[in-house]
Amino acid sequence: MFKGSLVALITPFRDGAVDETAFQEHVAWQVGQGTHGLVPCGTTGESPALEPGEQRRVIEMCVEVAKGRAPVIAGTGSNSTAHTIEATREAKAAGADAALIVCPYYNKPTQEGLYQHFKAVHDAVDLPIIIYNIPGRSSVDMSNATMARLAKLPNIVGVKDATNDLSRPLRMRVEIGAEFCLLSGEDGTAVAYLAQGGDGCISVTANVAPRLCAEMHEAWQKGDFATVRRINERLIPLHEALFAETSPAPVKYAASLLGRCRAEVRLPLWQTAPETQEKVQRAMRGAGLIN
């Protein structure tokens, strides 16, 4: 259903407010650069720091600018099932093509709790759902068995896998089947994830290198592995630099170097340290994105 390079969109801010113009221009640029899917209001979009009205508006703007040229997978997850249902309903009303729902953070539910959470959202809203499994941020790891159980529900269509366990996509292919969409959540190992049965990547790096990311995935789909290797080698220092501090502060700084937005983040995140900025600049120059 979803494949290739999907961008985990940043949410630009200006003086504390969502910079709507910068966001709309960023989405239009992504589509023009060949990005295969748009993911507003995820972790990279600072969703925990967005007010509900801001989240609705960001999703609406993404849908409006995309105009059906790329699917919109809206981040709607939280650690409250009721809030997740409400946000998913609003994303559907805004025209999103699917919802990206994170495993509830801080609560640390059991595997049965995870199943019941996702099932409740599934039963309440008729919208395709991609599970976002990111143990490093949520402190819970959905097992393959739980995911296989959820995959039997018609609108649970895939996973954004940020476990960085490269045996996992292959095991999921075997346990769940070919129709379940496997998307990497880790830029640095995205190609290895593809080799293990993945379909694509929800990418932070695509915020600043959308054409390169899209071309790499298109080359993979064509079996042009020499091009995949060349682009991957070009991007790996950038992947590393963009996670030198808590994301999305480094990628927002990188985007500011391109004039796409300010480097502003919302508390409790903070601006990047000078040494991180230098690392990002070097990586951007090495990738040929700035002079």
Share of the chain above pLDDT 90, in %: 100
Per-residue model confidence (pLDDT) at position 128: 98
Cβ-based neighbours of 8, under 8 Å, separated by 6 or more: 39, 42, 43, 44, 45, 202, 203, 204, 206, 207
Position 123, amino acid: D
Other Cβ atoms closer than 10 A to 32: 11
The β-bridge relationship of strands 17-18 and 13-14 is antiparallel
pTM of the entire predicted model: 0.96
Integer Cα distance of 23 and 255 in angstroms: 12
Does position 1 have pLDDT exceeding 90, yes or no? no
User: Which structure tokens are listed for 152?
Assistant: 């039997």
Tokens of 248: 């999305």
| 181 lies in some domain | yes
Mean pLDDT, to the nearest integer, of 222-246? 98
- On whether residue 232 sits in a domain, the answer given is no
| Contacts (Cβ under 8 Å, ≥6 apart) of 177 | 151
CB 209 within 8 A of CB 238: yes
Q: Is 160 a catalytic residue?
A: yes
The total of structural domains in the chain comes to 1
- Here the CATH number for the domain that contains residue 75 is 3.20.20.70
Residue 269: burial class (beta carbons within 10 Å; 0-12, 13-18, 19+)? middle
- Given the residues 115, 132, 193, 253, select the one marked as catalytic: 132
Burial class (CB in 10 A: 0-12, 13-18, 19+), 267: exposed
Residue 196: per-residue pLDDT: 96
Mean pLDDT of 186-206: 97
pLDDT digits (tens, 9 = 90+) for 66-118: 999 999 999 999 999 999 999 999 999 999 999 999 999 999 999 999 999 99
Residue 33 lies in a domain: yes
CB 74 within 8 A of CB 94: yes
Residue range 155-186, pLDDT digits in tens: 999 999 999 999 999 999 999 999 999 999 99
CA atoms within 13 A on the CB side of 232: 21
- Residue-averaged pLDDT of the chain: 97
Assigned domain for 108 exists: yes
Amino acid at 114: L
* Cβ–Cβ < 8 Å for 281, 253: no
pLDDT attached to residue 215: 98
Say if 275 falls within a structural domain. no
Q: Which domain covers residue 209, as residue numbers?
A: 4-222
285 falls within a domain: no
Q: Is residue 122 a part of any domain in this protein? A: yes
Six token digits for residue 144: 């393959």
**Mean pLDDT across the stretch 189-205?**
97
Two structure tokens written together for 2:
């979803």
Does residue 151 register a pLDDT over 90? yes
b or e along 202-222 (b: 16 or more beta carbons within 10 Å of the residue's beta carbon)?
bbbbbbbbbbbbbbbbbbbee
Say if 288 falls within a structural domain: no
Instruction: Single out the catalytic residue among 92, 160, 252, 279.
Output: 160
CA distances, 231 to each of 57, 139, 169, 250, 254 (Å): 35, 33, 22, 21, 18
Residue carrying structure tokens 């070919």: 178
Average pLDDT for 11-36: 98
**253 among known catalytic residues:** no
Strands 37-39 and 200-203: unpaired
